[in-house]
Structure 1
Amino acid sequence: MRQSDIICSVETGTRSQKVGVITLDRPKALNALSVEMVTTIHDQLNIWDQDDALSHVIIKSSAPRAFCAGGDVRYARELLLTDPVNGALGYFKAEYLADVAVAQFSKPIIALCVGIVMGGGAGIAQNCSHIVATDTTRFAMPETAIGLFPDATASLFLGRCPRPIALWLGTTGAIIDGAECMMLGLAHAVVKTADIDALAGALVACNPDEIDDVIGTFQIDPGVPGLSANRAAIDYIFGGAKAEDMVIRASDMARIKGDAFAANIHNLLTTRCPVSIKLFIHLLTLSDMLDGVDAALDLDFKLALKMMRRPDLSEGIRAVLVDKDHAPIWSPATLAEVSDHMIADIFNHEGLPALR
């Protein structure tokens, strides 16, 4: 079956087993997830889950530049401009329900993460049973740049990282590679992008109990993770209890030691959406209390509803993806102006609909 931007097919392996293949095919948009794409993922996985003859599923990209750059937030902004209260409700619901379908799929499901893997694309991949990164993988959760927050179960998969690393990734949108994903448990293996088609073919041919061995035959040594060199700085800066403490620590480290890495963190913490940063810091404290994917996505859905009713989301998308002036006017403009009461209100979900 082919819808525009996504191809769902059933391949027959060498042992006559059926294997589902979902190919994201929107290369000009770096496979940004449209409503149609996430709805197709949700519906197709539910059908395949009931097919006893189908043994496992592969999710991949049609092009090596990107597995998936995230949700189609430009479209979400168009919806918000039409209806600032509930305009994007349907979009976020469809995206998160696709994550539910991936996470709760009863058979092995393998994500082949070439190139860019960000935002909603990371959410799809991280909820698969097998996550394969490549030598070109660029992973990030950059939502604080557009006035949203790391969602799509980031509270869980970033929550499993050491806290300073999770805060670094979630507040700054830092980009990491395949080796770093392996180090942090965000990937199970790293392979060459040049081998990804051969790996996909081998995964179609194998039985589900052979998946790990097949991936292992393609696995490469990813090398020393680059973030190891900056781990001490990350631990120090993001060991601060509050966002303001992190800014001060980054500033001091940059000024006193001339640390360029710390200076970059300071720049990001003082230019990304202040509400988004503080929201994520609080969200991360709830990670251990969330009862699985359902609870995490229900919380993400309600937080997204609260955030889309604020001005920052439309403004951030405008600045980064529409006008591309990269000069958003945040409301409030600084971390100091974001009160605890303001964050508490965003986490007050009385009267909001549940995800499902």
Structure 2
Amino acid sequence: MNTTPTSQSADVRVEKLDGAGVITLDRPKALNALDHGMINAIAAALDSFRDDDAVDRVLLCSAGEKAYCAGGDVRSVRDSDLTGDYTPGDDLFRDEYDMNHALATFPTPTVALVDGIAMGGGLGVSAHAGVRVVTGRTWQSMPEMAIGFITDVGISHVFTHLPHVPENSRVALGVFLATTAYRLTVDDLLWSGLATHLLQDGDTAAFREALVSDGLDAALARTVGRDAAGESTLARNLDWITATFDGDDWSEIQRRVDAAEGDFADEVRAMLAPANPLSLVGATELLNYSAHVSLRRALDAEFALGCLLRRQPNFPEGVRAVLVDKDRQATFSPATVAEVTPEQREEIRRTVAGPAATPRNPR
């Protein structure tokens, strides 16, 4: 095997192995959560592989079986934001969203081998790959509502363009996934198209070896397709989700959720309980916007809306409650959707429709 190390960082291993570019997230004690250094290392690796004619396939994978990537380093963003200096956080998110776009537009085949938990930023380094392989240990979620933030890393676009979901249900399902932090099971992932293949035996090392030594087709021969999926909870409840989460007015969606009956409706209300009301309003506006624009424009809207929310008290309070003190007792203001003012709704709408900032290095 021809092994060529490329750039290295403490928590991301980058190698060129017989024509395969391999990016391994290697921060298992932190569940491979992305800090700014890791984001830059992944971006640099993609740049290097893009310019290397000898690389004809790229694999993103992780060290450890518990998590592929549990999200991004929002605690450090909160710390700098609380000093009144928003530049470090702005820079991190700009670089991350540029990296997400680079992965989505990469010119040669990309494979994400998602083993274990993938949340938040973890979807940004998996859902944009052309081939998305999961194992029986995989589940995914976007839990930003509880930390006073919004669905980002391009997933506002991904969730509203799921390839196997009926077109008339895509936006409503996207809003549902963004606002509830619903945990997508392997069956949900395969049914919706968020995953393209299932590695049934869970032998990620053998999959990696096959991809490096024998190529993509040989690696995928070890997997099965979406026909192997069991019953998806999302599929079973899709009609209800479509009817309930349709539209760009969260207040109306909230009324439908509150009036609904049945076990699934009870579960949905419980999932929504920790959410920041302004995040719910913002995510609904954002998902409806991202459904009709390019990924690049969706990322720009995510950045603009994220900047708006980070400069308000709910973001540091939400991160405190979920990740710092872990008491899950955030005090948001406004405390209910009914208290969100028309001026706040209009500010969110203007921010989403006309992003105030663009990435420094658009690709």
TM-score over 0.5 (shorter chain): yes
Cα displacement (A) at 1:239: 3.7
CA distance in 1, matches of 2:291, 2:142: 20
* Paired positions, count: 343
Name 1:215's counterpart in structure 2: 220
Name 1:182's counterpart in structure 2: 190
Q: Does the CA contact (< 8 Å) of 2:300 and 2:355 recur in 1?
A: no
2:281 matched to 1:275? no
2:201 matched to 1:199? no
Q: Given residue 338 of structure 1, which amino acid in structure 2 is its aligned partner? A: V
Name 2:258's counterpart in structure 1: 251
Q: TM-score, normalised by structure 2?
A: 0.88
Percent sequence identity is 33
SS at match of 2:113: strand
Name 2:166's counterpart in structure 1: none
Deviations 1:38-95 (A, max 9, x none): 0001111101110111111100011111111111111111111122544411111121
Equivalent positions of 1:229-244 (< 5 A) are 229-239=236-246, 242-244=249-251
CA distance in 2, matches of 1:242, 1:294: 24
Name 2:15's counterpart in structure 1: 9
CA distance in 1, matches of 2:189, 2:355: 38
Gaps of 5+ in 1: 13-17
- Shift of the 301–230 alpha-carbon distance from structure 1 to 2, 3 Å rule, reads same
CA distance in 2, matches of 1:267, 1:240: 21
Could you tell me which of 323, 326, 329 is aligned with 1:327? Answer: 329
CA distance in 2, matches of 1:68, 1:144: 19
Deviations 1:264-283 (A, max 9, x none): 21233343011111111111
CA distance in 2, matches of 1:223, 1:180: 9
Q: Does the CA contact (< 8 Å) of 1:179 and 1:222 recur in 2?
A: yes
CA distance in 2, matches of 1:139, 1:196: 18
Gaps of 5+ in 2: 1-6, 163-169
- Shift of the 222–314 alpha-carbon distance from structure 1 to 2, 3 Å rule, reads same
Give the stretch that moved more between structures: 161-170 or 111-120.
161-170
Name 1:102's counterpart in structure 2: 103
Give the stretch that moved more between structures: 173-182 or 232-241.
232-241
Give the stretch that moved more between structures: 297-306 or 317-326.
297-306
Q: Does the CA contact (< 8 Å) of 2:171 and 2:291 recur in 1?
A: no
Q: Does the CA contact (< 8 Å) of 1:111 and 1:128 recur in 2?
A: yes
Cα displacement (A) at 1:345: 1.3
SS at match of 1:284: helix
Cα displacement (A) at 1:105: 1.7
Q: Does the CA contact (< 8 Å) of 2:211 and 2:218 recur in 1?
A: no
SS at match of 1:10: strand
Deviations 1:254-299 (A, max 9, x none): 4xxxx23211212333430111111111112212431x23222222
SS at match of 1:43: helix
Q: Does the CA contact (< 8 Å) of 1:110 and 1:132 recur in 2?
A: yes
Q: Given residue 122 of structure 2, which amino acid in structure 1 is its aligned partner? A: G
Name 1:35's counterpart in structure 2: 36
CA distance in 2, matches of 1:2, 1:65: 23
Name 2:92's counterpart in structure 1: 91
CA distance in 1, matches of 2:77, 2:312: 14
Name 1:345's counterpart in structure 2: 347
CA RMSD of aligned residues (A): 2.0
Q: TM-score, normalised by structure 1?
A: 0.90
Cα displacement (A) at 1:234: 2.3
Q: Given residue 302 of structure 1, which amino acid in structure 2 is its aligned partner? A: A
- Shift of the 293–236 alpha-carbon distance from structure 1 to 2, 3 Å rule, reads closer
CA distance in 1, matches of 2:243, 2:298: 28
